[in-house]
Amino acid sequence: MYSNFQSKVVFIAVALSVVFTATEIKAEQYPKGPITMVVPWKPGGGTDRTARLFAPYLSKTLGVPVKVINMGGGGGWVAWSKMAKWDPKKDDHTIGWVNFPHMLSYLNPKMKNKNNLDSFNFLTGHSIDPCTWLVREGDKRFQTLPEFIAYVKTHPNEIKISVGGFGSDDHQAVAFAEKFIPGFKVKKIFGNNDAKKLQELYGKTADAVGGNISYFVPHMLEGKLRPLAVLAKQRSNHLPTVPTFEEASGVKNYNFAARVLVAAPGLPDEKNKILTAAIQKAMDTPEYGVRELRGHNTLWKVDGTKLKDFLTALAATVGKVKFWDLPK
């Protein structure tokens, strides 16, 4: 039998073990408080809408509030420059959105940007939205992609295409066509959001627009816009009768807006795993999936090596096109 002294020693040891275990669990608890989600654009854009729709669902899977903040400027690089320098201890409760191919503007040597893909801690892909080219329904000059390309070749630098910012996915789609379709030369109208693109097309300031499928589907359903092609490897579920650019022209012009979530570089693997699992679990929420489907946005759940390989291949394509060297 234990003596009273031995019993006290055992009791104290057990008590200390419980205290240390509880303290350890508390120290390892993550996240411990609210998560900040950084959008690299001003309020009202596609990424901002996605972030604000997604935040409540992510909050449920993480068990803490998720606050969305906007940090616009520099074509996204005001925010991305900060994300590349986030401290894994001080900024471990901050995540952000990175947009592709927009972020690959760092390949432009004129930017003198020292960041690259290795500067970021990519957690998981979230959504991917293929590009499409559209014209006014009933435009007698062209109603198919082959007709459009043929017209451009016989009227070089006459056709105006409204796109987003310099280096955006819809700009790079046009740059790709100019690079690899002989005689394809157009004028590009830069810096427009989707609503402005429509104004220019309907007002005949522009002859065509380049943008992402999700925004333009309702206007197609109203019979106002004619999609020429989907710039993806496969036809879109939202536009099953619209051919891909490759089907219609034989040119492999793939362009899209992809949204990826990042955390602080150097964040411990365990925290990375918790964030990634929570993001993907929120994406799997049926109600959220339905709401994204209504917005014609395709969720894109990919992480780890597959995500890095995808982004590396995309960077190689952008580096081949060198959109920054083409005439504006």
Domain residue ranges of the chain, discontinuous segments joined by +? 1-29, 35-128+258-325, 130-249
Average pLDDT score over residue span 312-320: 92
Average pLDDT score over residue span 100-124: 94
What integer pLDDT is reported at residue 138 of this predicted model?
96
Q: Which of 137-146, 166-175, 219-228 has the highest mean pLDDT?
A: 137-146
pLDDT category of residue 4 using cuts at 50, 70 and 90: low
pLDDT category of residue 55 using cuts at 50, 70 and 90: very high
Token code pair at residue 200: 């220019």
What integer pLDDT is reported at residue 59 of this predicted model?
98
Q: Give me the half-sphere count of Cα atoms (radius 13 Å) on the Cβ side of residue 32.
A: 9
CATH homologous superfamily, domain 130-249: Periplasmic binding protein-like II (3.40.190.10)
What integer pLDDT is reported at residue 306 of this predicted model?
95
CA distance 108 to 167: 9
> Which single residue is written with the structure tokens 């003596």?
3
pLDDT for residue 266 is more than 90:
yes
pLDDT for residue 23 is more than 90:
no
Name the average pLDDT for the chain. 90
Span 59-103, pLDDT tens digits: 999 999 999 999 999 889 999 999 999 999 999 999 999 999 989
Average pLDDT score over residue span 200-210: 96
Under a CB-based contact definition with an 8 Å cutoff, are residues 272 and 263 in contact?
A: yes
Phi and psi at residue 94, in whole multiples of 5°?
A: -125, 135
What integer pLDDT is reported at residue 10 of this predicted model?
46
What integer pLDDT is reported at residue 165 of this predicted model?
82
Average pLDDT score over residue span 10-18: 47
35-128+258-325 with 130-249: one CATH topology?
yes
What integer pLDDT is reported at residue 194 of this predicted model?
87
CA distance 54 to 292: 9
CATH homologous superfamily, domain 35-128+258-325: Bordetella uptake gene, domain 1 (3.40.190.150)
What integer pLDDT is reported at residue 127 of this predicted model?
95
Under a CB-based contact definition with an 8 Å cutoff, are residues 283 and 303 in contact?
A: no
pLDDT category of residue 328 using cuts at 50, 70 and 90: low
What integer pLDDT is reported at residue 3 of this predicted model?
53
What integer pLDDT is reported at residue 28 of this predicted model?
67
**What whole-number percentage of the chain has pLDDT above 90?**
74
Residue 98's H or E segment, with its range, is strand 94-100
Span 119-160, pLDDT tens digits: 999 999 999 999 999 999 999 999 999 999 999 999 999 999
Higher-scoring residue by pLDDT: 293, 150: 150
Higher-scoring residue by pLDDT: 21, 263: 263
Average pLDDT score over residue span 298-313: 94
> Taken in order 46, 172, 318, 212, is the CA torsion positive or negative?
positive
pLDDT for residue 218 is more than 80:
yes
- Pairing status of strand 187-189 against strand 298-299: unpaired
Higher-scoring residue by pLDDT: 9, 297: 297
pLDDT for residue 224 is more than 90:
yes
pLDDT category of residue 22 using cuts at 50, 70 and 90: very low
